[in-house]
Amino acid sequence: MRVVIFGANGATGRLLTRQALDAGFDVVAVTRHPVTFPIEHPRLTVAEGDVHDRRATAEVMAEADVVLSTLGVPFTRKPISLYSDGIASITEAMGKHGLTRVVVVSSSATEPIRHADGGFLLNRVMQPMITRTIGKTTYADMRAMEEHLRSGLLDWTVMRPGGLFDADLVSDYELHEDSSERVFTSRVDLAASVLAQASSSTWSRKYVAVNTVTGVPTLLQMIRREAFGGH
């Protein structure tokens, strides 16, 4: 199977690329900066491309079977269009090549809920603050991406991770339709959950919350990591 990965040069995208190669897939890793891509492999093609460029997006999908997207941008108060314009570009290119299967990464914060383990600080302070201020444009654009897929006819799956952290190994992560009360997701588990959808139809045309169950940081540890840039 040949998979195309958009956002391949991000933290989750690199993990996904490595996992896909280890699993025996042929991989096309799409990045705006191919010279900085750290992975080499006989079954890997590193393709220069910007998802906003419709022509380039279509070119990298030649002979592909599945499209995976871990596209992402840092929080900003400025308008964001990467997710919505990116998925429009991707689905248009898929139509040209007759592709049907696409898996994308969104966020649990597109439909925020109260988390059983979140406590007052997360549920009443941090989550409302982030979703209404620095994350407002990000989550609005993610929702637009989700709606674009929902209104189309493709075989899509949207993965919704919680707060992301780094871990060494894939764990026995949990999947739930739409949302979960759990708070955190390791990047390696997120990558594994995305890859698992490449050859599965179990979660076709569904939103899927993916969460790490064991070895998760506390909320205080996450705040310290973010404050000191240790994520």
Secondary structure in 3-state letters for 161-212: ECEEECCCCCCCCEEEECCCCCCEEEHHHHHHHHHHHCCCCCCCCEEEEEEC
Q: What distance in Å separates the CA atoms of residue 101 and residue 103, rounded to the nearest whole number? A: 7
Q: Give residue for tokens 């998802």.
A: 51
> Measuring CA to CA, which residue among 2, 33, 1 is closest to residue 14?
33
What pLDDT is recorded for position 103? Answer: 98
What pLDDT is recorded for position 75? Answer: 72
Name the CATH superfamily housing domain 2-227.
NAD(P)-binding Rossmann-like Domain (3.40.50.720)
The enclosing H or E element of 12 equals helix 11-22
Domain boundaries, the chain: 2-227
Tokens read off for 172: 């026995």
Phi, psi dihedrals of residue 217, rounded to the nearest 5°: -75, 165
Residue-wise pLDDT tens for the chain (231 aa)?
999 999 999 999 999 999 999 999 999 999 999 999 999 999 999 999 999 999 999 999 999 999 999 999 887 878 899 999 999 999 999 999 999 999 999 999 887 655 555 554 555 455 555 666 666 899 999 999 999 999 999 999 999 999 899 999 999 999 999 998 888 999 999 999 999 999 999 999 999 999 999 998 876 666 555 443 433
- pTM of the predicted structure, to 2 decimals: 0.89
